[in-house]
Amino acid sequence: MYHKMLVPLDGSYLAEIVMDYTAEIATKLGLEVIFLNIYPPEEEELLPMHRAYIEHAAESLTKRALPNKITAHGKLAMGNPADKILDYARENGVDLILMATHGRSGVSKIVMGSVAEKVWRTSPVPVWLIRGRPFEEIEKEISDAAIVTLDGSKLAEKAVSYAEDLAKQWGNGGLEIILLSVCEPPNIPSDYPPDMPLSWEKHVEAETARHQEKIKNYLENIKAKLQEKGLRARVEVLPGQPTPTIIKYVQENPAQLIVMATHGRSGVSRWLMGSVAEGVLASVNIPVFLIRPSSEEKSAGSEPGA
C-alpha cells in the first residue's frame, strides 16, 4: 500500500501543474505529501525565499484538500536535483514520486530531460509522471481505470501488483484494471512448403489468430486472479505495433493512468523497449506510472510469462 508521496517543485508553472494532480491523488489514496525544493549552492543566500515557497505550497495543499485532511510538508535540499530526489526517497520511506513532464521537451527546470530520466530509470520507488496538461483539462475525459501494459514477460507482469494496490486503495469504488497487450504479427518461416493445405495468406491468418488467443488466455488468467480478490478487471488484446497501438488506445480510452514496468537503462521489458516507453510518455496526456524492478527481479524475470 502507498502512504507517502514525494513531489519535487521548482517554482515553474509546469512543475506546479502537479499541484492539481497531487490533491487528486493524495485524496484518492489517502497519502501524506512531501514537497521538495532543491536549490543550487550559489543560491544558499536565498534560502529563506526557497523555504517560504515550499512551505506555502504545503500549506496551500492542506487548505485546498479540506475536508479530506491531507498532511503535507515542505522540505529543502541543496545540490544535484536528481541525486537529491533519489536520496530523499531512499532515506525517508517514500512510496512513490510524482513529477511533471512536458513530452519530448523533457521536464521543467530542475527536472530537465536527463534529470527526469535518471529519476525514473533509477528510482527505488514507482515514479508517477504527469505530462504538462492541467488536471482540469482531462478530469471530465478520464475514467476510473488503470491501463496496465503487458508483453507476457515476468518483468512487465510486475506492474500488475502495483496496479492492484492502487485499485484497492483508490476511493469511490476503486479503479478498474485494464490488462492491455499488443499482438504483433508473428514470425512465420518463409520456407512455406508448396504442398501445405492452406494458402500463405490463410496460414498467416491462422498463426496470427493462434498467437492472439494465446495472449488472451494469458491475460484472462491474470484477470481471474484479480477478480478473485474483488477487483474489477478486463482484457484488451490489440493487433499492431506496440508504440502507436498503445498511444491510439489511450487517446480513445483515457484513463486515470497507465502502469508500465521498466528495467532501467535497458528500457521496458520485451516489446516495451526504451523507445516505446519514451514514445508513450511523450504522446499521451494521462499520467504514466513507471515501476523499475530490482536487480533480483530482473534476473529472475527475464523469462516470458506467456
Question: Residue 92's domain is classified under what CATH number?
Answer: 3.40.50.620
Residue where one domain finishes, among candidates 118, 138, 158 = 138
- Cα gap 223→245, rounded to integer Å: 21
Q: Domains in the chain: how many in total?
A: 2
Whether 160 and 236 map to the same domain: the answer is yes
Assign 1 a pLDDT band (cuts: 50, 70, 90): confident
Centre a 10 Å sphere on the Cβ of residue 78 and count the other Cβ atoms it contains: 15
Q: Provide the residue range defining the domain that includes 158.
A: 146-285+294-300
Q: What is the pTM of this model?
A: 0.84
* Helix H or strand E segment including 212: helix 200-228
Query: What is the chain's mean pLDDT, rounded?
Result: 82
pLDDT computed for residue 265 by the predictor = 45
Percent of the chain whose pLDDT exceeds 90: 46
Q: Which of 156, 158, 181 is nearest to 266 (CA)?
A: 156
Q: Which of 124, 303, 306 is nearest to 214 (CA)?
A: 306
Residue where one domain finishes, among candidates 110, 138, 166 = 138
Q: What is the mean pLDDT of residues 154-171?
A: 90
One-letter amino acid at 193 equals P
On whether the CB atoms of residues 254 and 286 are closer than 8 A, the answer is: yes
pLDDT in tens, 201-247: 776 777 788 888 999 999 999 999 999 999 999 999 999 888 899 99
